[in-house]
Amino acid sequence: MNTHPTLVLAGGSGFLGQLLTRHFAAQGYRIVILSRHAAQPSSSQVHYYAWDGHTPGPWQQALEGAAALINLTGKSVNCRYTPANRQEIVRSRVASTQVLGEAIRACQHPPKVWINAGSAAIYGNAGVQLMDEFSATGEGFSADVCRAWEEAFEQQTTPHTRKVMLRLGLVLSPEGGVLPPFLKLVQARLGGRIGHGDQYLSWLHADDFVRMVQYVMQHEELTGIFNATGPEPVRNHQWMRTLRQVTRHRFGLPTPAWLARLGTTLAGTEAELLLQGRRAIPARLLRSGFQFRHPYLEEALCHLLRVSPPEPVSFFAPVLPSRTASS
Answer yes or no: are the C-beta atoms of 235 and 177 closer than 8 Å: no
List for the chain the helix, strand, coil content (%; round to 5).
35, 20, 45
Tell me the β-bridge partners of 168: 119, 228
Nearest CA to 226 among 133, 118, 322, 127?
Answer: 133
Answer yes or no: are the C-beta atoms of 3 and 88 closer than 8 Å: no
Sketch the domain layout of the chain as residue ranges: 6-305
C-alpha angle with apex 45: 292 to 6, nearest 5 degrees?
65
Phi, psi dihedrals of residue 173, rounded to the nearest 5°: -160, 145
What is this structure's pTM? 0.92
Q: Give per-residue pLDDT as tens, 196-251.
A: 999 999 999 999 999 999 999 999 999 999 999 999 999 999 999 999 999 999 88
C-alpha angle with apex 203: 199 to 194, nearest 5 degrees?
30
Answer yes or no: are the C-beta atoms of 112 and 164 closer than 8 Å: no
Give the pLDDT confidence score for residue 37 in this predicted structure.
75
Answer yes or no: are the C-beta atoms of 94 and 54 closer than 8 Å: no
Please count the other Cβ atoms lying within 10 Å of the Cβ belonging to residue 129: 12
Give the residue ranges of the chain where pLDDT is below 50. 1, 314-327
Give the pLDDT confidence score for residue 43 in this predicted structure.
74
Q: Does domain 6-305 have CATH number 3.40.50.10860?
A: no
